[in-house]
Amino acid sequence: MTMTTIRTDDLTSLLGVLDERVPALLDELQVPGVGIGLSLGGESVATGYGVTNLEHPLPVTGDTIFQVGSISKTFVGLIAAQLEAEGLLDIEAPIAPLLADLGALDPRITMRHLLTHGSGIDAQYMIGRAGELLANHADDSIAASIRHFADDALMFAPGTDFSYSGPGFMVAGAVIERITGRAWADVLRERVLVPAGMAQTFTTADEAITYRVAAPHDITDGVARLARNEGWQRGWQLPGWDVPGGGVLSTGRELMRYAAYARRRDPELGFTRCLASRGVPGQEVGYAWMREHRRGRAAFGHDGLTIGYASRFRMIPEDDFAYAILSNSVKGKRITRALEAVLLEARYGAEERVEVAPFDAETHRDLVGRYDCGFYGQVDLRVREDRRAFELISLPAARQDGTFTIDPLSSPWLLPRGESVLSSDPGVEDPEQSIAYVRDGSGAVTALRIGDRIARRVEAV
């Protein structure tokens, strides 16, 4: 891809672009509000647009608190790197002996496997069955969670594949608790939040309630609405077992302090360096930090999604540029993606599209089939009726009484882009648009990688 000339080199100009674009995007995408943090050249700002709550609206600011979801996993990785540097953690050592009282975890699993989603632990049903497992004030500690799935069969042998695993970070959190002898929330506060100056970042509703907090929303029939008592958690905050993987509560301004702290510590700790491939060319993972490319530059960070919130956090060290986009809608991925594109265009100019070969259904017909997404259900990959592209058809899992499900991804338009990748917009680099496919040693297609998770092929369609 040809590099473009940098256009906007100061925060005031970036804020001006956001002022022009965000209000219309909020209206178009039916997202009530967004909080945004920006850092460039050692300076940072934070701002907000829209409202915190459709029923009790207050303006969103750069200091409004949102659930940041899986951005939380990067804190686990940073702390693991600290413990490793101090000689307290060997990321190559089996973790089962440390957690032997919690069940028969596979003795091959190491902290490296947990941090890179290479452990083979699935257990996504912890989301679906949370209502049942947490009924009658059941223990929601990290240790308690592991007892539910420690004996489960693995998706694959540790270290042989990659599939995104939230429960793997429950285990990683338990390892850190055992090593330090401290509760996860205390470790997080002492090792990251306090030294980073993040006084308005929390893990419980109790801590957040005296601040301005964005309420969760969803969309029904094209209209945004408040989302009350929805999802897998018992209330607003996530269960204790989910805090390492998704339970941090923060703001756009605070995440820029986190970015500055991470930049200072990374040369010493190396927690963003590649530890494993994510099975897609150009996409890797370090100590929980996802490595991708933006405008040809290495970008590090994570996305987040919880019931009522979607977020995106990225650092581009080459340009000393970082941004956090926090939304209060479970459908907010569309606006985090759109606003990232606005920021990148303002900073680097319009992206030059890559030419993609015309679609040939016969060349790729061996991809067609049904794929099992586990907890999420199944998907059919088919050639569209007009034979101009593939389409991905979602076949959601049946919902049982008292359970929660998330529908698998669907897409009306997918084209091959390079080796082993399909994309809903193959002319651009956004990895969010990509689905990889996996071949075995004989060349047969065995799986898709959808949202970083393995979906095994189960039959031809």
Q: Quick: pLDDT tens for 270-316.
A: 999 999 999 888 899 999 999 999 999 999 999 999 999 999 999 99
Residues 319 and 373 in one domain: no
Residues 221 and 308 in one domain: yes
Residues 322 and 430 in one domain: no
Residues 402 and 345 in one domain: no
Residues 287 and 405 in one domain: no
How many whole angstroms separate alpha carbon 302 and alpha carbon 310? Answer: 11
The answer on pLDDT for 114 being more than 80 is yes
Q: What is the dihedral of CA 239, 244, 247, 248, to 10 degrees?
A: 150
Residue 338 in any domain: the answer is yes
Compute the average pLDDT of residues 230-241. 85
Residue 360 in any domain: the answer is no
Residues 328 and 429 in one domain: no
Residues 179 and 261 in one domain: yes
CATH number reported for the structural domain that contains residue 232 in this entry: 3.40.710.10
The answer on pLDDT for 140 being more than 90 is yes
3-state SS string for 19-77: HHHHHHHHHHHCCCEEEEEEEECCEEEEEEEEECCCCCCCECCCCCEEECECCHHHHHH
How many whole angstroms separate alpha carbon 189 and alpha carbon 243? Answer: 13
Residues 265 and 374 in one domain: no
Residues 187 and 288 in one domain: yes
Backbone phi, then psi, for 96, in 5-degree steps? Answer: -55, -45
Tell me how many domains the chain contains: 2
**Under 8 Å between Cβ of 454 and 155:** yes
How many whole angstroms separate alpha carbon 440 and alpha carbon 78? Answer: 34
> pLDDT category, 461, cuts 50, 70, 90?
low
CATH number reported for the structural domain that contains residue 435 in this entry: 2.40.128.50
- Provide the residue type at 424 as one letter: S
Could you list the residue range(s) of the whole structural domain that residue 451 is in? 365-459
How many whole angstroms separate alpha carbon 201 and alpha carbon 387? Answer: 50
Q: What is the pTM of this model?
A: 0.95
**pLDDT tens digits along 392-444:** 999 988 766 666 677 888 999 999 987 789 999 888 877 777 899 999 999 99
